[in-house]
Amino acid sequence: MAKAPANLTLTQLRYFVRAVEVGSMTATADELFVAQSAVSTAISQLEQVVGCALLVRQRARGVVPTEQGRTFYRSAAKILGEVDDAINSLDPERLTGTLAAGCFTTLAPFYLPEAFERIDAAYPDLKVRITEVTAEQVSTLLLRRELEVILTYGFDYGREINFVQLAEAPVYAAVAENHPLADRMTVTLAELAREPLILLDLGKSTNYLLSIFRDAHLTPCIHQRFESFEVVRSMVARGHGYTILNQRPAHNMTNDGFRIVRLPITDSRSLLQMGIAHRAEEPLSRKGEAFLEQCRQMLATPG
């Protein structure tokens, strides 16, 4: 039980919240340009105020929150967000504080840098952190309040998560430049189903890609599975099979210098939604709304 709530300060909360997020008091001190001892002292004082241990100090391995610390973190992060919103409400053209956002791992190479640049340029006083996440992490990170918004695909994340659709990405087939289908203008799913498939194997993404065949009552011949977008492209470019993707790099060269050919799939109208996931029944902060709007503009820009 709290001994003296009046002694609790926003500085203590900020140091504690960031230490939980980065897992280190030293990293927190470096990031906030203060002495490590200042962070350690502030968090110790906070623990005295609330009357329990919030962090476990691990020698040479940083810190991890206790069970009570995890519970306190969620409330503390919410309080800090509301304080930032109160300050930001005084000037509609300015945003301060920290935006904790995420980007789905296969979208990140295409959109994360631009999303960061856009919001950083629009709101220079806002500190932006964008973390790469997998589909399985989306709900967890949002509900734990570690992230407020995530640029991701429109998968089913459960009733506690809202998804705001911003764009659609049609799927296409990719083959090596010497593949028998490479000279075609288009290809069908039936033709592809007879070829070895190099599958991008990423949980919900995998289910989506395979559902394209299931919807057409076809069964693909899965030859190899990889979690890396670039490994899949390189295997295809070297002639080990075809793949189905929905993101389009700026060029058709792979990292190892080979080339792939992209082919529209005529009998698949599958469109994968892209947009922003956030906690349901909870309005976005001004920072979250700003991120959503910058992503909307980015995805609407031909590129």
Fold agreement between 1-66 and 172-269: no
Backbone angles phi, psi at 243, to 5 degrees: -140, 170
- Domains of the chain, residue spans: 1-66, 91-167+272-303, 172-269
Answer whether residue 2 shows pLDDT above 50: no
Distance CA 46, CA 12 (A): 6
Task: Convert the pLDDT of each residue in 187-217 to its tens digit.
Answer: 999 999 999 999 999 888 888 889 899 988 9
Which amino acid is located at 53 in the chain? A
Place 16 in a pLDDT band, splitting at 50, 70 and 90: very high
In this structure, how many other beta carbons lie within 10 angstroms of the beta carbon of residue 67? 10
Distance CA 198, CA 241 (A): 6
Task: Convert the pLDDT of each residue in 261-280 to its tens digit.
Answer: 999 999 876 678 999 999 99
Eight-class DSSP state of 120 = H
Place 141 in a pLDDT band, splitting at 50, 70 and 90: very high
Which amino acid is located at 253 in the chain? M
Distance CA 88, CA 287 (A): 9
Answer whether residue 1 shows pLDDT above 70: no
- Which residue, among 268, 274, 237, has the nearest Cα to 254 in the 3D structure? 237
What's the start-to-end Cα distance of the chain, in Å?
55
- Which residue, among 4, 27, 1, has the nearest Cα to 15 in the 3D structure? 27
Decide if 150 contacts 101 (C-beta within 8 A): yes
The structure tokens listed for 204 are: 């919900």
91-167+272-303 fold: D-Maltodextrin-Binding Protein; domain 2 (3.40.190)
Backbone angles phi, psi at 198, to 5 degrees: -95, 105
Answer whether residue 69 shows pLDDT above 60: yes
Place 98 in a pLDDT band, splitting at 50, 70 and 90: confident
Mean pLDDT rounded to a whole number for the chain: 89
User: Class for domain 1-66, per CATH?
Assistant: mainly alpha
Options 3.10.580.10, 3.40.50.880, 3.40.190.10, 3.30.200.210; CATH for 172-269 is: 3.40.190.10
Task: Convert the pLDDT of each residue in 251-262 to its tens digit.
Answer: 899 999 999 999
